[in-house]
Amino acid sequence: MNGRRRWLAVGGVVLAAALLWLGLGWGGERRDEVWERIQRDGVIRVGMDASFPPFEVVTEAGEFVGYDVDLARELARHLGAPRVEFVNIHFDGLYDALLDAKCDIILSALPFDREMTEDVVYSTPYFHAGQVLLAAEARPEVAGLESLEGGALAVELGSEAHYLARQWAQRKGAALEIRTALTAQEALDLLGEGQVDAAIVDAVTALQALGARQGLRPVGEQLTDEPYVIAAPLGSDILLDRLNRALASLREAGLFETLEGRWF
């Protein structure tokens, strides 16, 4: 090999090593600047719209409280961040705040959005807010939508529950009276008053109702899937991995059952 070719070969190796060093950290892991900053500063900045109880709300004293707030503090402990800084942002601005590095993660009853997967990374789900069928405890014969044929079902007008009920009735050709209410709570009132055989509401409303009302029960599994997830910036692979590990550990330890009992 002549001198020029040897120089080019050596230069290529050096260039490749430099590119590898820039893109990867020690041990072959891709660098994650968000994770590095959290570890360096000992604080994780959590973006949330604190206007959605029981998940997040600000008290009159200015304190953040709720399901997501408690979860954020537990996650910070698992991530080795002594302090959590809550950044209160209107829901419509959460993604922009994350992309502008005004927060490190979004933890705010955030539904998974497939259209955003080119801009952010998502954790595994920590809560499922899909539609739930509720019936009276005194009506054990209500075992699912199929058992409601010839009966009456309450839903919120124009809601996903309303759409789901209409689609099911049309697809099955079932004789089902769909009673519409202005709110999900009013749909549950119809059920509580015995005017309908069952009601469909989202899981958040269902859990609140089961915690506050007597005589209601969930029927079967959720009818739809609406996972709540945590969003982090693209490139924060280490942070995402640590979040998913922490969520799995907290789930195994029973934290989510504790949070449901505390906040619903």
C-alpha closest to that of 244 among 123, 106, 128, 125: 123
Provide the domain count of the chain: 2
- CA distances for 98 relative to 73, 81, 92, 106, angstroms: 19, 19, 12, 7
Q: Are residues 76 and 119 in the same domain?
A: yes
Q: Are residues 233 and 250 in the same domain?
A: yes
Q: Are residues 211 and 232 in the same domain?
A: no
Q: Are residues 118 and 178 in the same domain?
A: no
Q: Are residues 117 and 188 in the same domain?
A: no
**What does each of the 264 residues of the chain score in pLDDT, given as a tens digit?**
554 444 434 444 444 444 444 444 445 557 899 999 999 999 999 999 999 999 999 999 999 999 999 999 999 999 999 999 999 999 999 999 999 999 999 999 999 999 999 999 999 999 999 999 999 999 999 999 999 989 999 999 999 999 999 999 988 777 899 999 999 999 999 999 999 999 999 999 999 999 888 899 999 999 999 999 999 999 999 999 999 999 999 999 999 999 999 999
Domain membership of residue 6 (yes or no) is no
**180 alpha-carbon distance from chain centroid:** 28
Q: Are residues 150 and 200 in the same domain?
A: yes
Q: Are residues 109 and 240 in the same domain?
A: yes
Question: Which pLDDT score is estimated for 28?
Answer: 54
Interatomic CA distance for residues 196 and 189, integer angstroms: 10
Q: Are residues 85 and 117 in the same domain?
A: yes
* Residue 47 token pair: 């973006």
Q: Are residues 215 and 140 in the same domain?
A: yes
Interatomic CA distance for residues 251 and 256, integer angstroms: 6
Residue numbers of the domain that contains 141? 131-219
Summarize pLDDT for 233-250 with one digit per residue, the tens: 999 999 999 999 999 999
Query: How many other CB atoms are there within 10 angstroms of residue 117's CB atom?
Result: 12
* Residue 87 token pair: 């950044």
Domain membership of residue 89 (yes or no) is yes
Q: Are 137 and 198 in contact (CB under 8 A)?
A: no
CATH number for the domain spanning 154: value is 3.40.190.10
Question: Which pLDDT score is estimated for 161?
Answer: 97
Question: Which pLDDT score is estimated for 132?
Answer: 97
Interatomic CA distance for residues 53 and 36, integer angstroms: 32
Domain membership of residue 255 (yes or no) is yes
